[in-house]
């Protein structure tokens, strides 16, 4: 009788067996090691640098789709204006076996309003970033690769400002490091600058804007 009851319980409550999110074993894999690139494809003959990585050793809830959005809120960023994306999506190859895939999401500076602030950013410009997840079978770190830059206003076609890749990265990192919070989550974030993933200079860069070759690795822990 007890065995039958146990089977019934399992049938009614399958979520009891669900495996909780677990940390990956590595921070990230270098995309170039698997035939990928630290530049995305902007669709205009050039790419934008993947200049920030959210480490796969971060708290697992940060690395989900909802998790990166909530973390972005804590830094003063939100999803696009009215959840509408203008322009074509960019793609990236993270060397994980998935090939070139479109960005998961684009997130913009929200000027203090998580509901409508990104509409202002779309008009006057500001910081923004695109997100990809490294989760293919050959390099499953779970890390999030971000292409961060500061852009001009809509009247300037959202071109990147001078030195906008370095500026954009530094603004995002500055906002992230230390303790931040949004909703029910508080984050503790550390940063490490990585060289060797991205060549310094302007070769292959969208708009011909040079960058310093630094990729910042953020490890984000929910506390």
Q: Which helix (H) or strand (E) holds 122?
A: helix 117-124
Mean pLDDT over residues 114-129, rounded? 72
Q: By C-alpha distance, which of 98, 53, 100, 105 is closest to 84?
A: 105
In this predicted structure, the answer to whether residue 220 has a pLDDT above a threshold of 50 is: yes
Phi first, then psi, for residue 14 (nearest 5°) are -65, -20
Tokens at 149, concatenated: 């830059």
Q: Residue 5: which pLDDT band, with cuts at 50, 70 and 90?
A: very low
Instruction: Report whether pLDDT(124) > 50.
Output: yes
Question: Looking at residues 21-36, what average pLDDT do you find?
Answer: 92
Number of Cβ within 10 Å of residue 101's Cβ equals: 16
Task: With cut-offs at 50, 70 and 90, classify the pLDDT of residue 145.
Answer: very high
Integer Cα distance of 135 and 121 in angstroms: 31
148 φ/ψ angles, rounded to the nearest 5 degrees = -110, 135
Asked whether residue 109 carries a pLDDT value surpassing 80, the answer given is yes
Residues 54, 56, 62, 63, CA torsion sign: positive
Instruction: Give the C-alpha separation, 207 to 222, whole Å.
Output: 37
pTM of the model: 0.86
Confidence of residue 71 (pLDDT cuts 50, 70, 90): very high
Total number of residues shown for the chain: 223
Sign of the Cα pseudo-torsion (71, 76, 80, 86, in order): negative
Say if residues 50 and 92 touch (Cβ distance below 8 Å).
yes
C-alpha–C-alpha distance, residues 21 and 141, integer Å = 13
Torsion angles phi and psi, residue 213, rounded to 5: 85, 5
CB neighbour class for 104 (10 Å; exposed up to 12, middle 13-18, buried from 19):
middle
Q: What pLDDT sits at residue 72?
A: 95
Q: Partners of 158 in the beta sheet?
A: none
């Amino acid at each position: 009788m007890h065995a039958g009851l146990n089977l019934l319980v399992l049938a009614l409550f399958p979520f009891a067996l669900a495996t909780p999110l677990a940390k990956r074993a590595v921070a990230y894999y270098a995309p170039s090691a698997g035939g990928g690139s630290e530049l995305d494809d902007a669709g205009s003959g050039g790419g934008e640098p993947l200049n920030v990585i959210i480490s796969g050793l971060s708290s697992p809830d940060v690395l989900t789709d909802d998790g990166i959005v909530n973390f972005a809120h804590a830094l003063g960023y939100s999803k696009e204006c009215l959840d509408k994306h203008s322009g074509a999506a960019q793609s990236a190859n993270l060397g994980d076996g998935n090939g070139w895939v479109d960005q998961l999401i684009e997130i913009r500076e929200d000027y203090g309003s998580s509901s409508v602030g990104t509409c202002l950013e779309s008009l006057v410009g500001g910081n923004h970033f695109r997100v990809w997840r490294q989760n293919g079978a050959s390099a499953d770190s779970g890390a999030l690769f971000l292409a961060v830059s500061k852009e001009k206003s809509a009247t300037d076609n959202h071109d990147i400002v001078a030195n906008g890749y370095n500026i954009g990265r530094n603004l995002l990192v500055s906002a992230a490091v230390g303790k931040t919070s949004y909703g029910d989550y508080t984050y503790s974030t550390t940063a490490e600058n990585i060289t060797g993933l991205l060549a310094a200079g302007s070769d292959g860069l969208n708009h011909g804007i040079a960058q310093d070759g630094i990729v910042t690795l953020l490890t984000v822990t929910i506390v």
